[in-house]
Amino acid sequence: MKKNEPKYQHLVPRCYIKNFAEQHKKKIYRCGAMYWPQSDERPAFEPQLKNVKDFCGINHFYTLNIDKSINKMVIEDYYSKIESSYSPIYHKLVNPTVSRLTKREKYQLIKFIVSLKLRGLTYHNALNKLTEGMVDFAFEVFDRSNDPDKRNEVFDEKGELLFNFEGKTKGEAIAEHYHFNRQLVNIKTINHIRKVTTLLLDHAILISRTKDDFGYISSDNPVYLDGHGLYDHTSTWSLPINRYNLLKLLPRSKWETDNHTEILRHDSIGPTLLHNLHQIEGRFNWVFGYLNDLEIARKVDVNDEQSKKNALAESFTNSFKGFRL
């Protein structure tokens, strides 16, 4: 493996994660993290400090090898280029004296946010689930077939070969198609990122700074959509950018300014836990942030609606204690 071909590839980039971390040594940032697979009701272990380079990644996740004529690192390089613009924009977002971005910076920011939504496991998992069902059905048909020449092949309605499972177990067939699905989704994702970025260019940028006693956390699926999907131009996009600040992309119906590059700002009291629960519910495998913030969020049973309601009500009550109009 060449030096510029990283094995462990981040689904959430380090340039984003480190803003929830503290600098431990020169160029070393440590962040509170919990490994909490989506299928588990409770996290596999308590929050612990981890180097930001050591989580939210999968070996060779973006590496392509289905076509030798294509640079196998083209997807990884594509995301690296998007990530390279984020740090200077981030520093403007968290600086309360900065009131606007340039048009180029806004485009780069939105592209970064959209890439965070699409580069993860959402569509991989959906396609893999579909593949599992197809392979299960195919092997069930094979088991019932009396024609030995058709026991390893699946055809579509036009008679074209879809699958050939000759010499493979069901597990091997599924693994092979997982490998293909990963690369197919990664290639198609690039086109969706471009289209959705263009769709969101008229959205306003809002930075909501929390005044609660605890801060925002994030996950390996950090962007939350309030709307009807990627191509719904009325959707609100939310992304915690550090412990204190939540970024929102607001559609035209929710803001009143003609300056498309303005950074709107306001202070927020009460909804921090709600946003943190969105992160826990939407996660794939990892949740991260400051240790204390993770501890508060993980005490809530996200699988119990009444537990969530009680926790949110208590959080809002505590946030507004002593508040006077």
Residue 80 sits in the same domain as residue 163: no
Residue 220 sits in the same domain as residue 197: no
- Band (pLDDT 50/70/90 cuts) for residue 2 is low
What is the distance in angstroms between the CA of the first residue and the CA of the last residue of the chain?
62
> What distance lies between CA 27 and its chain's CA centroid?
24
Of residues 138 and 223, more confidence is placed in: 223
Has residue 131 been placed in a domain? Answer: yes
Has residue 3 been placed in a domain? Answer: no
* CB-CB contact of 203 with 237 (8 Å): yes
* CB-CB contact of 245 with 16 (8 Å): no
CA distance 263 to 102: 11
Residue 183 sits in the same domain as residue 315: no
Residue 133 sits in the same domain as residue 82: no
Going along 156-235, which residue ranges are E strands? 161-164, 204-210, 218-219, 224-226
Residue 51's SS3 state is strand
Residue 309 sits in the same domain as residue 163: no
Has residue 136 been placed in a domain? Answer: yes
Supply the pTM of this predicted model.
0.88
320: pLDDT strictly greater than 60 = no
Has residue 256 been placed in a domain? Answer: yes
Has residue 2 been placed in a domain? Answer: no
- Classify the phi-psi angles of 270: left when phi > 0, otherwise alpha if psi is within -120 to 50, otherwise beta: left
Q: Please tell me the number of Cα atoms within 13 Å of 97 on its side-chain side.
A: 0
Say if strands 48-51 and 28-35 run parallel, antiparallel, or are unpaired.
Answer: antiparallel
Say if strands 263-268 and 204-210 run parallel, antiparallel, or are unpaired.
Answer: parallel
111: pLDDT strictly greater than 90 = yes
252-288 confidence digits (pLDDT tens): 766 665 667 999 999 988 789 999 999 999 999 999 9
* Residue 95 belongs to domain spanning: 8-104+203-319
Residue 213 sits in the same domain as residue 303: yes
Has residue 324 been placed in a domain? Answer: no
Residue 207 sits in the same domain as residue 180: no
324: pLDDT strictly greater than 70 = no
Q: Which residues contact 321 (CB under 8 A, 6 or more apart)?
A: none
Residue 301 sits in the same domain as residue 228: yes
Q: Which amino acid is at 183?
A: Q
17-70 confidence digits (pLDDT tens): 999 999 888 888 999 999 999 888 888 788 999 999 999 999 999 999 887 888
Of residues 69 and 93, more confidence is placed in: 93
How many domains does one find in the chain?
2
> What distance lies between CA 213 and its chain's CA centroid?
26
198-256 confidence digits (pLDDT tens): 999 999 999 999 999 899 999 999 999 998 889 998 999 999 999 999 999 999 766 66
Pick from 183, 201, 219: which residue ends a domain? 201
196: pLDDT strictly greater than 80 = yes
Residue 143 sits in the same domain as residue 237: no
pLDDT, position 323:
46
* CB-CB contact of 264 with 204 (8 Å): yes
Residue 195 sits in the same domain as residue 240: no
Pick from 169, 201, 233: which residue ends a domain? 201
Has residue 306 been placed in a domain? Answer: yes
Pick from 182, 201, 220: which residue ends a domain? 201
Has residue 109 been placed in a domain? Answer: no
pLDDT, position 253:
66
pLDDT, position 285:
95
Residue 153 sits in the same domain as residue 35: no
66-92 confidence digits (pLDDT tens): 878 889 999 999 999 999 999 999 999
Query: In the 8-state DSSP scheme, what is residue 230?
Result: T
Burial of residue 170 (CB within 10 Å: 0-12, 13-18, 19+) is middle
Residue 216 sits in the same domain as residue 309: yes
